[in-house]
Amino acid sequence: MANGKTLQYTIDEKALSDLTRTLASFSAASEALRKQIVTLFPTKYGSDLWWEQSIERSKKDIAAGKYKTFDSAKDFVRYLDGLSS
């Protein structure tokens, strides 16, 4: 609606398809940019953005193999005890 008047447009199927594809591309690009910004700037501890940063960092660490596994709780406790030695 513009100035209280309803505007009507006719758009062909190809143009609509192109527009939809372009909007999807913009959406994907803005999401990628948002993720980069979130990982670059520190955020308040415990905030939603802080959690998002932490999850993204964790995904990268897991993909890079930066994690440990333990066969039992005892093994885990031994590992933790070894950190304080």
- Give residue 34's Cα distance to chain centre: 8
Cβ atoms 61, 72 nearer than 8 A: no
Distances, alpha carbon 18 to alpha carbons 23, 48, 57, in Å:
9, 35, 35
pTM (2 decimals)?
0.47
Residue 10 C-beta-side C-alpha neighbours within 13 Å: 0
pLDDT tens over the chain, length 85 residues: 567 788 787 888 888 888 888 888 888 888 888 878 777 777 889 999 889 888 989 999 999 999 999 999 999 999 999 998 7
